[in-house]
Chains A and B, each alone.
Chain A
């Protein structure tokens, strides 16, 4: 190996060693590092030495920013000159549940302006919980001639006019993925804005929108985009129209149907079934709004090779689900509504041995009079049949410690365990004890646990368990739980890999907040709302840790000394300047 010709001079603390040992030429190093995809690996690589830091930054093409305020667009552009793909996340997760004030921030526009100057060849933008206006979408559409992929998840501030701008101007678009956003739906004409000459679309997801689109335009679009592999329709598309689309797109890998409920003639049904059976590549099925059980058999030919089935918009009964699942032996991910009840979940356990992810959503989350839904029995039944479960999100109205202990014994590989007992502070319904032992069992048994959401009646003991055993835990969500500061202190002291902590309605105060002083800089963020934290506590934190942004959101009519909502995050960009009046930066 020849000694390197260093293009860029660096001062390396290990300069003696690097001159003694020959190092790679920069080009080789960059080439090798360009093969690294994971942003965490790249971060580690950049810490090795100055050479590697520089090689890494020149070879990075995708940047992931988990908190848009942790860094500024200028800093990003300075460090990474060759970015072609950006993922940005904005608001705290609890904004999904209306806990974050309007106009909180996370506006994309300032980023776009910098990107237009520094990354004119930007190809991909993936945003989560950001605010984006129609003007910004138009700016995006005209500023980046190579733009290929836009994904918006849980964003707000834009309307279908912005989508029209994207469709009109982005000649090379391959992906338009609009998921679960607060979008102002002004009508479906945006879809007709794709020019007749446009053929590059591979991913189209407009399931989020409710307006009717021009079906002829959609049919022509799907017909000429021969590389389309993901198509997620909205509810306004009928079964008959679905059949017409599928006939022209048998190559689809992921399909989100429209409404699955109109009356079909026998011939229409047969045609639909036939169109579906031609989709040999299909591994993901989605949508199925208002699905009527009688038409589900049309899906059977597709079910045999399905790995992801999302039935969370179809209020199926247990027998309907059971019949369907009998045809889905390869299922790895399943989302359902709790209308399937425990019996439906038994069918999951019986039919889907390869299952890795299960999400059970409540059909009627706000109605206390519900008699059905799922209980601990359903979850236990799944655990017996699906030992490979790694990810669960389970909404229920009753649970026991014993059941959870059994579940984790059957499925020790959980990486994500999110249990939501919907009545806040509810104990084990048989023993009336707190649910401490349930989550104790989870953290003791599931050593790979990365994400945990707890619920039910919980004392500090739960958090002692978490601090002691959950050594790989990265994300923790807590609501209506704990008895004192000690609980949170255990977590802050014990969970060395913790990155995101979100807490609401818990009796944790200043002592708890300040116990994490050393820790917050190694975390992405902390959220605490409706706890016992005061303004003084927050001020102290802000004073001691200047590299943290400590933001307090006050609510009308609350005590001046209470810090109603606190959001703490590390940042190298300093305090933000775009906070609305309701957000105080300390």
Chain B
């Protein structure tokens, strides 16, 4: 059953009046909807609530009280609610990032000298060695092992990627999660240019 999420207009004065009853309880309670819907009765803790506007997602319920014309209510979070430990939140967020693209995180891969580009789904790989092996298989070349000090020294090839800022970065320096969230495309550099990267 689809449920529309309704947001109470938290900017109306009634809601901000310092009464500690249940949010929305009392005589000024707007009449309830007949269809089951989630009422967002969040009571905010002023100094720490995060306000993130998501106009495209929110739909406004005009509560019974006649409000002044306020902007669409922002989606607010109550500190420490729902009660989930931060460790778990962090894990879920990074999994979610992987799920967000839905159909996969396909990026273009170019190899210097190759006539056409390929595409791979970064989501499939849990970590760098798997990605590198896949690239080696796909293009029939050897990239070798990564080391923090020397990059891919010893190999004719160096895998690089273009990040969100448009810079070309060596694959392997940052944690995997950070990499897949910022990688826009891959380029496998060859020859002297590649070896140069190893000595930087």
Contacts and interface: CB of A to CB of B under 8 A. Distances in A.
A and B: interacting chains:
yes
Interface stretch (B17-25, B60-68, B155-163, B181-189): B17-25
A210 B130 contact: no
Interface in B21-57: 21-25, 32, 36, 38-43, 45-48, 57
Contacts, number: 146
Given A313-B95, A424-B23, A369 B57 contact: yes
B36 A420 contact: no
A557 B125 contact: no
B82 A262 contact: no
B98 A238 contact: no
Contact of B79 (A99, A211, A430): A99
A290 B79 contact: no
A262 B81 contact: no
Q: What DSSP secondary structure best describes chain A's contact surface?
A: loop
A360 to B, nearest CB: 12
Given A97-B83, A368-B75, A483-B21, A425 B41 contact: yes
B91 interface: yes
A262 B127 contact: yes
Interface in B153-188: 175-177
Contacts of B92: 363-365
Contacts of B141: none
Contacts of B75: 368
B21 to A, nearest CB: 5
Interface string A240-279: 0000000000000000000101110000000000000000
A169 B92 CA distance: 35
A505 B44 CA distance: 10
Q: What DSSP secondary structure best describes chain B's contact surface?
A: loop
Interface in A349-387: 361-366, 368-369, 371
Interface string A477-490: 10111110000000
A432 B47 contact: no
A97 B81 contact: yes
A426 B25 CA distance: 11
Contact of A96 (B41, B85, B126): B85
B127 A259 contact: yes
Contacts of B104: none
Contact of A262 (B19, B43, B125): B125
A420 B25 CA distance: 20
- Is the interface on chain B under 10, 10 to 19, 20 to 34, or 35 or more residues? 35 or more
B22 A425 contact: yes
A531 B84 CA distance: 21
A365 B47 contact: no
Contact of A532 (B2, B20, B87, B127): B20
A235 B90 CA distance: 13
B118 interface: no
Contacts of B99: 315
B189 to A, nearest CB: 24
Instruction: Pick the most buried of A94, A97, A235, A263: most chain B CB atoms within 10 A of its CB.
Output: A97
A494 interface: no
Contacts of B175: 210-211
A524 B186 CA distance: 57
Contact of A361 (B5, B84, B96): B84
Nearest to A564: B45
A289 interface: yes
A530 interface: yes
12 contacts: A259-B126, A262-B125, A289-B91, A289-B95, A290-B98, A312-B88, A365-B84, A368-B40, A424-B41, A425-B23, A425-B25, A481-B22
Given A261-B124, A422-B82, A430-B36, 4 more contacts: A99-B80, A263-B124, A366-B77, A483-B21
